[in-house]
Amino acid sequence: MALEIAKHVFTVTDFERMVETGILSEDDRVELIEGEIIEMSPIGSFHAACVDRFTESIVGLRLNVIVRVQSSIQLDEYSQPQPDLALLRRRDDFYSASLPRPADVLLIIEVADTTLEYDRIVKLPAYARAGIPEAWLANLPQDRIEMYTEPVDGAYTVIKHATRGEVIQSSSIDELRLSVDDILG
């Protein structure tokens, strides 16, 4: 006989109410993925430095995008992840009325040290299912940047790797070209 365990699936509305009522605070390192509240790993200094290098490099290009750092986006009714960076279509209100949705996202960037498998197995497929056109994964253990594009049926169909000495080029933002050395430090 199979054991059935009842599991409550949370919506984005439930998740936001938990913050409003104090069950969760805005400082809690959690995100909502497919209806489950997931505790995020603490950010180490190498991870933080990589996010900072990405941010400085991208902002320095003065692209016509909004660069959102470690803030929520809403993929659907059951997922509200916090990617390390999200490059968003420019909007005059800077998304003050609602979180960015997949159609607003041009590129997601995740930096992975201890969370590499989680980012690959859980987050990247969630971004692909939502139709986000491009995701980059700074793979710190392997000292490279992985670029995922062309989402089809919940998976990115094109995956490229770039290592030190190479330049990465966004497929969704023509002016976005970065040196891997500059990003990995």
Domains, the chain, in order of start with CATH, read: 42-184 (3.90.1570.10)
Q: Identify the band that residue 1 occupies on the pLDDT scale cut at 50, 70 and 90.
A: low
Nearest-5° Cα angle at 49, 122 to 166: 80
The pLDDT of 104-129, averaged and rounded, is: 96
Cα gap 51→167, rounded to integer Å? 17
What is the model's pTM? 0.93
Bridge-based pairing of strands 134-139 and 144-152 is antiparallel
Q: What is the mean pLDDT of residues 169-180?
A: 97
